[in-house]
Amino acid sequence: MSTSLVEPPLFPHLVIRALEQHGERPCLHIGGEVHTYADVRKRTSQLVQAQLSRGIGLGTRLAVLSKNRPEVVTNLTASLVNGCVITPLHPMGSLDDHEYAIADAEIDCLVFDAENFGDRAADLQRRFPSLILLGFGPSEVGEDYLALADTFDPAPLVPPEVSAEDLCTVVYTGGTTGRPKGVLMTHRVWQAMTWIQMSEWEFPQEIRLAVVTPLSHAALSLVAPVMLSGGAFHVMESFDPDGFFDLVEEESITTTLIVPVMLYALQTHERYETANMTSMETIFYGASPMSPAKLAAAIEHWGPIFFQFFGQTEAPMVLTHLKRAEHDPADLARLASCGRPTPWMHIALLDADDQPVPSGESGEICARGPLVMSGYKDLPDESADALSSGWLHTGDVGRFDSEGYLYIVDRTKDMVISGGFNVFPREVEDVLSTHSAVAMVAVIGVPDPKWGEAVKAVVVLSPGHEASDDLTRELQLLVREAKGPQQAPKSIDYREELPLTPVGKLDKKAIRAEYWRDSDRAVG
């Protein structure tokens, strides 16, 4: 353990403190069961001992693959207390995705949901014979982790011998622009994210959090601030609008964290107008850009309860934020902002030579501070590029306005160059999203013999609207009048749905691949 006189408590210390502080307060609601903080503390201790009995301890690389169930939380707290290095595997990922992460992260132990992922665990063990398998319940492969834990009596929780720069997690990027990269995140990162969340995020006084995303990912980012506050997790097994509205009404939910496509699904649901959302105080949202028009409509309907966060896996979640009072439904331009930088990080806009851009101009959003990753696993060149000149280069292009609000113009790799003009898809998407017929939209560049690339919009229509040549012309004119002719889509395709990444972002790589498949030029 670090002997530094001034090193503050780290993530495992915070978890132990929270579990010991709140006793019989409800901590976890899931599957009709309620688990108190005392219950979670006891189970955490038993799981720690179960891990140790199988040689799993300080520095063990441990992956988790599970649908939402209470053991995801208790295994997380146990793994932190035991000093493991954690890698969450997305439950919607493919076998190739999981094989890649296990090999790349050098995973020693896989903890898996025996009911839903027994076959996947068997496939992975065939590929990695030395992999230790611990199942949430009995399975044909591996050991019943829960039965093993039952053989131990609860004991005091003791923090691991870790320091701020020791590795805590290896988390994989979404992979929309290439093969996922393993992001090395030390205890310093999670400590910094926790103090920024607790000082800057607008949590309700009574936290009853609806968990509507995969718990293995959401719990990792919210476990410390919610537990330190004595809040309760109300976990959905999977997101659906009907179940969400029921949960909010029945449990008087006060807060949740969503991605934009979830809001769009709620807005097009038949209960959107009638559902009782009066208990909801803060809806945190992020991970991908939100349509300003749809956000404004939600604010008008539910009130000023929205709080935006911006970050990326390499510097998670809390680089900037747009607070509830800063969400003005009458100001669509402001709603397109991702807020002001947190005071706990340095944020700058840099040019291609890593020099600050002039005031008011666009540049790459770069960050420096305790939230930044240590690098990518076994990718020294990519790490050097991402962390060059003493800054984390996010790959996002942004600009500041005169009041210090940051606007993400687009991803550098998403920019379309059409006839020599730079077109940023995000700006075109924001215009198209103001039309009532547009439920979701992705704007990309496609091959064009004259322009090199042509701007194309791929649209999912709102209920009650149909595709037509008249609608296409109307949408093209909308962009032409707002942004100019070079920004207007040359063509518009209509789809029933758009592909999403496992973390709920539009998968533009998959969309672009359909149109570039027969082209000599590849796309990133």
Q: Which of 174, 191, 208 is the last residue of a domain?
A: 191
- Rg of the chain (C-alpha set): 23
d(CA 202, CA 362): 29
Q: What percent of the chain has pLDDT over 90?
A: 74
Q: What is the 8-class DSSP label of residue 424?
A: -
Based on the structure, what is the number of domains in the chain? 3
Residue at 79 is within a domain: yes
407 lies in the same domain as 440: no
Q: Are residues 94 and 173 in the same domain?
A: yes
Pairing state of beta strands 421-423 and 416-418? antiparallel
Q: What is the pLDDT of residue 421?
A: 66
Confidence at residue 396, expressed as pLDDT on a 0 to 100 scale: 87
In a domain, 326, yes or no: yes
The packing angle between helices 215-228 and 70-81, to 10°, is: 70
Cβ–Cβ under 8 Å, residues 107 and 63: yes
Q: What is the mean pLDDT of the chain?
A: 91
Residue 207: partners with Cβ closer than 8 Å, 6 or more residues away: 226, 229, 230, 231, 232, 254, 255
Q: Do 264 and 363 fall within a single domain?
A: yes
Residue 151 lies in a domain: yes
Q: What pLDDT does 374 receive? A: 97
The CATH number of the domain holding residue 429 is: 3.30.300.30
Q: What angle do CA 256, 341, 328 make, to 5 degrees?
A: 60
Residues 459 and 492 occupy one common structural domain: yes
d(Cα 359, Cα 372) in Å, to the nearest integer? 25
Same domain, yes or no: 276 and 154: no
Residue 214, in any domain of the structure: no
pTM score: 0.83
393 and 472 inside one domain:
no
pLDDT at 415 over 90: no
| Residue 205 placed within a domain | no
CA dist 164 and 11 (Å) reads 9
- What residue numbers bound the domain in which 106 lies? 11-191
Question: Does 176 map to a domain?
Answer: yes
DSSP helix/strand/coil, 150: helix
Q: Which two tokens stand for residue 285?
A: 């949202």
Q: Does residue 322 sit in the same domain as residue 431? A: no
Q: Name the pLDDT band for 520 (thresholds 50, 70, 90).
A: very low
Pair 285, 324 in one domain:
yes
Answer yes or no: are the C-beta atoms of 173 and 181 closer than 8 Å.
Answer: yes
- 430 near 413, Cβ under 8 Å? no
Q: How many residues does the chain have?
A: 524
Residues 388 and 440 reside in one and the same domain: no
pLDDT score of 522 more than 60: no
pLDDT digits (tens, 9 = 90+) for 173-182: 854 445 789 9
Query: Can you spell out the DSSP letters for 244-264?
Result: HHHHHHHHT--EEEE-HHHHH
What integer pLDDT is reported at residue 523 of this predicted model? 34
Assess contact for 396 and 411: CB atoms under 8 A: yes
**pLDDT tens-digit readout, 84-97:** 999 999 888 889 88
In a domain, 510, yes or no: yes
Taking 80 as the threshold, does the pLDDT of residue 413 lie above it? no
102 residue type, one letter: I
Q: Indicate if 62 and 165 belong to the same structural domain.
A: yes
Domain containing 280 — which CATH number?
Answer: 3.40.50.12780
Domain boundary among 157, 174, 191: 191
29/137 same-domain check:
yes
- Boundary-marking domain end, from 357, 388, 412: 412
For residue 58, give every residue at least 6 positions away whose Cβ sits within 8 Å of its Cβ, in sequence order, or none: 82, 83, 84, 160, 161, 162
- The residues with which 268 forms a beta bridge, in sequence order, are none
Residue type for 36, please? T
Whether 231 is in a domain gets the answer no
Same domain for 157 and 19: yes
Arithmetic mean of pLDDT, 140-148: 97
* 288-345: pLDDT as tens digits: 778 888 999 999 999 999 999 999 889 999 999 999 999 999 999 999 999 999 999 9
Per-residue confidence (pLDDT) for residue 505, from 0 to 100: 73
